[in-house]
């Protein structure tokens, strides 16, 4: 397991109503995070996200159109998997289209035990911003915050 991020980021976990020093049971989810990077003509764009994350969506905000589309791949621990594409022929917000397969669905649902790099392949003309929305979780895909199960004394 290797991760360079400190997640999950839990929100609004309720304190223990017994006031006995123990940490209360988590009753909320983890925070959704968004990362952006420029899309530059004739260059690949990359975003690195933490191990265990679930990917909600990948979008392009295009201000210069291209000829067709850019492939999207995810690289984890040296293995690259094609997961879909981003059509670059229209201006504005464009959602990625993911490959319809169980393998891709499983990868999007939990990127695995290593940090991953999402790559938008190069294409001659399109430009804008790449945005990746995900929830950072523990490398095993859980959202149990560090320190859970401990008591204050």
pLDDT tens, position by position, 59-70: 999 999 998 999
In this predicted model, what pLDDT tens digit does every residue of 110-132 receive, in sequence order?
999 999 999 999 999 999 999 99
CB atoms < 10 A from the CB of 126, how many?
A: 27
Residue 122 CA to residue 92 CA, distance in Å, equals 19
CB burial of residue 152 (10 Å; 0-12, 13-18, 19+): exposed
User: What are the tokens at 87?
Assistant: 């059509």
Distances (CA, A) of 109 to 4, 28, 55, 101: 20, 19, 6, 12
Residue 150 has pLDDT above 60, yes or no: no
What pLDDT was estimated at residue 2? 46
In this predicted model, what pLDDT tens digit does every residue of 54-105 receive, in sequence order?
999 999 999 999 989 999 999 999 999 999 999 999 999 999 999 999 999 9
Percent of the chain at pLDDT exceeding 90: 65
Residue 24 has pLDDT above 70, yes or no: no
> Can you give the pTM of this predicted structure?
0.81
């Amino acid at each position: 397991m290797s991760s360079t991020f400190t997640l999950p980021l839990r929100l609004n976990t309720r304190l223990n109503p017994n006031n006995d020093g123990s940490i209360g049971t988590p009753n909320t989810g983890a925070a959704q995070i968004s990362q952006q990077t420029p899309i530059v003509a004739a260059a690949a764009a990359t975003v690195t996200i933490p191990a265990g994350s679930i990917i909600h969506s990948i979008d392009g905000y295009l201000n210069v159109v291209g000829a067709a589309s850019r492939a999207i791949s995810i690289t984890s621990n040296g293995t690259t998997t094609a997961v879909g594409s981003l059509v670059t022929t229209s201006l504005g917000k464009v959602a990625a289209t993911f490959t319809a397969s169980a393998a891709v669905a499983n990868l999007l649902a939990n990127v695995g035990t290593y940090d991953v790099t999402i790559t938008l392949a190069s294409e001659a003309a399109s430009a804008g911003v790449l945005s990746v929305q995900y929830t950072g979780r523990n490398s095993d895909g859980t959202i149990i915050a560090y320190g859970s199960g401990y008591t204050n004394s």
